[in-house]
Chains A and B, each alone.
Chain A
């Protein structure tokens, strides 16, 4: 079943005085429980593509459907809701809230979904256990290593049990061992829980974890390859 359907997606935005044509016509279908890597040089439109799938942005033209919902028809409130329920983000720079403990960071998305306090604490503990950080729950981000931080951020992405996990260079700031741990976790989520994972990366080793690798250049898909 196709979970994400992108048709003729273009995205233009203004940067200072010049218009940037970030995406120039993307057609892409992603199935449920697929792990896909998006590669390409800087400025090729990888992040923009991720933002559109993540409902952080809407396309300038074309249609983006997530579970048959066309995101361009949604208002901001509805986008926020879809994002909160269906999508989890993992960022290159982790983007944890520095003032909150690992546990509280994982609870954060559930606060905005009005999950009860006790349910939140329980779920956060489960997720931290899943990423192997039960003993780090009370630590603040600055007391954790890069790899640990990224695993907290992954636990946070899973907080509202989303169908789709979007990871923007998740291993970009990690050593290869930590990077592999994170990728193994993402793969396990796909295999065991049927999550759909989209990973933006420069690193061919990371891309090797994916079932399918697409390469962008100047806002177009120039190559699509299935891994064995």
Chain B
């Protein structure tokens, strides 16, 4: 029965090709917009999360101190490395502290050079284990710090030039003498230590920075501690569990207001924000779907009017009201469905094309996400819109009195 009504509905859609297609266009533009926007949004989200993962590392835990107010830079936090190492599942611990210090180089012959410069204390593991956080150091001269070094420093290219420092030169940081052991190549990317961003710190500009061992920075500046600690977990360890145990250990040791964040914690608010934007855009696009729905309703009312006599005939030859109702509902539902399928296809093509264009012209890679729930949802939704829009016209058709319908000219 349904099958027969279905083929009757198909027949009337196909005999009114132009109008049916125009109505379908009304639906598929909306669906295209929704699908393209959401696909791009999902791709963007995945790309961003992926990049965060590359910098931060999905197996990394960050410890900071609760800022006094939201958005403020977190205060220093002092933690004994051994305390964290004591937690099961911890593979490596590293930290970094960035300060501005008074630096001078006493030259034997000419006038002394001095200034306020960025001084970063690096723990040894920061270089060996958390390289994505600070980037690779490419040396021009000398070497970088090793575990045995004390009162040694390596310099960014810019700062070395400024201080006119060479290997073996002695500089004074906050009245403490350091020997220059390495000078880096000019860094084209300039921005390093992006991880600081997650802890509310500005990124380190490698070229303008003096790097010293972390253990010494406490001596130079008041108040011990670092802005954040990074923990790498053992392979296969449960990150959330390790994070929880670190939290417990810190509380037990009396470290106040420590916040232990995993990759999940960092990625979640970003995802949420992206999704909110996505939802907003999709809602805007959905307005055009509403317009498409009104188009379907219009077409169906016209169809009912046009086929009044046909409806009369069907009733005269034994069609029930429910048959007529189904017939028109199937027809409008089909229009919605076809619009949905076409919209999904074009929407996916559009988002893939846009991602390609962005990669091609701006050299920014956005992943393309083909989400099955999105596709299924969009098609189902367009079918529902078509059916809803057909509801009133179909009801009118089914309620027509056969004699009046037959008399209709």
Q: Which residues of A contact B (CB under 8 A)?
A: 51, 54, 56-57, 76-77, 80-81, 83-85, 88-89, 91, 95-100, 108-109, 111-114, 117, 156-157, 159-160
Kindly provide the distance from the CB of A226 to the nearest chain B CB, expressed in whole angstroms: 30
CB neighbours (8 Å) of B321 from chain A are: 76, 80
CB distance B310 to A97 under 8 Å? yes
Complex Cα distance, B319 from A84, in Å, reads 8
Kindly provide the distance from the CB of B205 to the nearest chain A CB, expressed in whole angstroms: 74
CB distance B317 to A89 under 8 Å? yes
CB distance A97 to B318 under 8 Å? no
CB neighbours (8 Å) of A81 from chain B are: 318
5 A–B contacts, CB within 8 A, in A order: A56-B316, A56-B402, A80-B318, A80-B320, A98-B15
Kindly provide the distance from the CB of A80 to the nearest chain B CB, expressed in whole angstroms: 5
CB distance B4 to A111 under 8 Å? yes
CB neighbours (8 Å) of B4 from chain A are: 111, 117
Complex Cα distance, B310 from A159, in Å, reads 17
The answer to whether the Cβ of B309 comes within 8 Å of any Cβ in the partner chain is yes
CB distance A112 to B320 under 8 Å? yes
CB distance B403 to A56 under 8 Å? yes
Question: What residue of chain A has the Cβ atom nearest to residue B307's Cβ?
Answer: A97
Known: A89-B317, A97-B313, A112-B323. 6 other contacts (CB 8 A): A56-B315, A56-B402, A80-B321, A95-B312, A111-B1, A112-B314
CB neighbours (8 Å) of B403 from chain A are: 51, 56-57
The answer to whether the Cβ of B11 comes within 8 Å of any Cβ in the partner chain is yes
CB neighbours (8 Å) of A88 from chain B are: 317
> How many residue-residue contacts, CB under 8 A, span A and B?
64
Question: What residue of chain A has the Cβ atom nearest to residue B310's Cβ?
Answer: A97
Instruction: Give the total of B residues in contact with A, Cβ under 8 Å.
Output: 23
Which of B15, B310, B318 sits near A112, CB closer than 8 Å? B318
CB neighbours (8 Å) of B128 from chain A are: none
Question: What residue of chain B has the Cβ atom nearest to residue A80's Cβ?
Answer: B320
CB distance B12 to A108 under 8 Å? no
CB neighbours (8 Å) of B8 from chain A are: 100, 111
The answer to whether the Cβ of B249 comes within 8 Å of any Cβ in the partner chain is no
CB neighbours (8 Å) of A156 from chain B are: 317
Scoring B residues 279 to 315 as 1 if CB is less than 8 Å from chain A, else 0, what string do you get? 0000000000000000000000000000001101111
Which of A96, A99, A157 sits near B15, CB closer than 8 Å? A99
Known: A95-B309, A100-B11, A111-B4. A84 touches B402 (CB 8 A): no
Kindly provide the distance from the CB of B399 to the nearest chain A CB, expressed in whole angstroms: 10
Complex Cα distance, B312 from A56, in Å, reads 10
CB distance B317 to A109 under 8 Å? yes
The answer to whether the Cβ of B406 comes within 8 Å of any Cβ in the partner chain is yes
Complex Cα distance, B406 from A111, in Å, reads 20
Kindly provide the distance from the CB of B207 to the nearest chain A CB, expressed in whole angstroms: 76
Complex Cα distance, B82 from A136, in Å, reads 95
Which chain B residues (6-27) contact chain A, with CB distance < 8 Å? Answer: 8, 11-12, 15
CB distance A83 to B316 under 8 Å? yes
CB neighbours (8 Å) of A96 from chain B are: 313
Pick the 9 closest A-B CB pairs, nearest first.
A84-B318, A109-B317, A112-B318, A99-B15, A95-B313, A111-B4, A112-B319, A89-B316, A56-B402
CB distance A108 to B11 under 8 Å? no
Complex Cα distance, B222 from A201, in Å, reads 115
CB neighbours (8 Å) of A77 from chain B are: 320
CB distance B315 to A108 under 8 Å? no
CB neighbours (8 Å) of A112 from chain B are: 314, 317-320, 323
